Amino acid sequence: AERQRERRLAAAAPASVPLSARSQTKRRAVLPPALLPRLPSSPPHRPSGNMAGLSSSISSFGRCTHAVVRALPESLCQHALRREKGKEVDFARAEREYQLLVGVLKSKLGLQVLELPADESLPDCVFVEDVAVVCEETALLTRPGAPSRRKEVDAMKRALESLNLNIVEMTDENATLDGGDVLFTGREFFVGLSNRTNRRGAEILADTFKDYAVSTVPVHGALHLKSFCSMAGPNLIAIGSSEAAQKALKTMQQMSDHRYDKLTVPDDSAANCVYLNIPGKGHILLHRAPEEYPESAKVFEKLKDHMLIPIACTELEKIDGSLTCTSVLINKTSEL
């Protein structure tokens, strides 16, 4: 039982360092994040696949009852952060694309959608995924890597409190974490180490979700880990074809004790999709529209067991947005 409670954070080593030389951090529930003990390198311990909690999470992967979204502020057109200067955002079209997504979640899939109001002083606030990581009944409020985004957490906190979730706040000023760097597979977490997320943030996430192994993955050439990957179904990782995406996938395969299936698409941006498992509706996949990425759409069409719903994200992609960015999905199993 004690071994089952122990977890190690397996940090991905640079290519020139053998995997056996990875550094790990041992975490204990009784210690606050600032006091996490550091241990020398050793083979990572991962929770047993026979644990009741892990088995339950795998069987319920993709289940969702609620979604938290946030309206678009007009300020995003001129002031939202972006990695590179590019085309101007068409706000009216971005609004239509956003409303289509919200309509699918609410009307087509039957989720209870909590829509937070836009805040013109927070031009990136539509990207709610970055400010909260929710797993089962626990929500970790993050500390976004961009200082201009940190006040976005306040409205999310109120929304998640209204759902009676267990709230954990990331207050360590040495930590940064964007939810776009967090990939949960139902078995474990992969956390991208990017310009927005650091190792300390990954450590705090690992300390928050103690039943799951957590591995870090260096991210190069993209904003977030999920800029080129996501879960397209139970045990199925959608991954882009770029060298950066394939390198990250290789790292995840090396770090994990589990073998995942993969769905490789030609376009990195199209690899970011939203999988849900809705009772009475089955496997649902929201994916980028064929008019945006026709070759990648053909790959998704091979998923015969999924209900495929194409969603355009053309305008928000101009400011580094993707399909998973604009919602926080929650599966409430207890009474509100």
Chain centroid, CA 86 distance in Å: 25
pLDDT at 87: 87
What per-residue confidence (pLDDT) applies to 84? Answer: 81
| This prediction's pTM | 0.85
Q: Which of 64, 125, 135, 325 is catalytic?
A: 325
CA distances (Å), origin 68, targets 97, 133, 292, 302: 16, 12, 26, 30
Residue 325 annotated to the active site: yes
What would the pLDDT profile of 143-179 be if each residue is shown by its tens digit? 999 999 999 999 999 999 999 999 999 999 999 999 9
Given the residues 224, 283, 287, 306, select the one marked as catalytic. Answer: 224
Question: Residue 313 burial (CB < 10 Å; 0-12/13-18/19+)?
Answer: buried
Q: What is the pLDDT of residue 113?
A: 98
Q: Is 313 a catalytic residue?
A: no
